[in-house]
Amino acid sequence: MNERGCPPLLGEPFPHVEVESTLGKLTLPDDYAGKWFVLFSHPGDFTPVCTTEFVEFQLKSDEFKKLNTQLIGLSLDDVFAHMKWMEWIRDHFHVSISFPIIADQLGKLSMQLGMVSPNLSSSTVRTVYIVNPKGIIQLMLNYPPSVGRNIDEILRVVKALQVSSENGVATPVNWPNNSYLGSQVIIPPPRTVMAVEKRVEEAQQGDVQCLDWWFCYKPLNE
């Protein structure tokens, strides 16, 4: 919980915690300083939807690594259940889970992060936290136990967050496949009269493209 006694919000630091995982003790977010990480909870080991999610996360793990991003799973199961489930996945899907899975048996971290919804289940729901290299929370998602996540969308969001933070831009809906802008990015609107005048000049000179002074865009890295 944060100082308000509720789960942390976007833009706040990820809480400092020490946890047990299938790869040993972890200290979050310290162990991943300088890297992005995706922490995702699942309702339980040896459940069908969760199994399909973990297989897909592992199949996409190299793409996350290319983005300097670590995957971390979590549920209320103990570490022995995690490891046995990993063996079962390997034997039946021929996929070896390489990322750590946190064993939050007492539910301390899950409650702290708002991953348990008593109205739905006594287990963790399908929560996703994306945290930047400075340990700041950039995104939070919650799915019910009955709906599996779209791993491609989580990968897309990591890319979009990195592009936004590294270039000081915003990304349009469905980026990089927006129906109007394609893979171009949006320049934040000017916030003073002087900045508006400068933006208009930039548009007239062809430095940026604009539909209006508050709606300007450009190709990435230009």
Residue 122: predicted pLDDT: 81
Q: Are strands 126-131 and 137-143 parallel, antiparallel or unpaired?
A: antiparallel
Q: How many structural domains compose the chain? A: 2
What average pLDDT score do residues 143-148 get?
Answer: 95
Check residue 78 and report its DSSP letter: -
The answer to whether residue 120 scores a pLDDT higher than 90 is no
- Clarify whether 50 is annotated catalytic: yes
Cis omega before residue 188 (within 30°)? no
pLDDT tens sequence across 9-31: 999 999 999 999 999 999 999 99
The answer to whether residue 121 scores a pLDDT higher than 80 is no
Q: Are strands 185-187 and 137-143 parallel, antiparallel or unpaired?
A: unpaired
Out of 6, 50, 210, 216, pick the active-site residue. 50
What average pLDDT score do residues 65-92 get?
Answer: 98
Residue 4: predicted pLDDT: 60
Question: Could you tell me if 26 and 135 lie in one domain?
Answer: yes
The answer to whether residue 193 scores a pLDDT higher than 70 is yes
Question: Could you tell me if 128 and 179 lie in one domain?
Answer: no
Q: Look up residue 93 and give its amino acid.
A: F
What average pLDDT score do residues 88-111 get?
Answer: 97
What average pLDDT score do residues 140-147 get?
Answer: 95
- Domain of 180, CATH number, reads 3.30.1020.10
Question: Could you tell me if 177 and 67 lie in one domain?
Answer: no
The answer to whether residue 1 scores a pLDDT higher than 70 is no
CB atoms closer than 10 angstroms to residue 30: 12
Q: Using alpha carbons only, give the angle 110, 157, 92 rounded to the nearest 5 degrees.
A: 65
In which domain, by residue range, is 129 found?
Answer: 17-149
What does the alpha-carbon distance between residue 194 and residue 33 come to, in Å, rounded to a whole number? 39
Q: Which of 88, 117, 149 is at the close of a domain?
A: 149
Between helix 151-167 and helix 48-59 the angle, nearest 10°, is 50
Question: Could you tell me if 29 and 115 lie in one domain?
Answer: yes
Q: Which of 119, 149, 179 is at the close of a domain?
A: 149
Virtual torsion, Cα 4, 6, 9, 11, nearest 10 deg: 40
Average pLDDT for the chain: 95
Check residue 116 and report its DSSP letter: B
pLDDT tens sequence across 148-165: 999 999 999 999 999 999
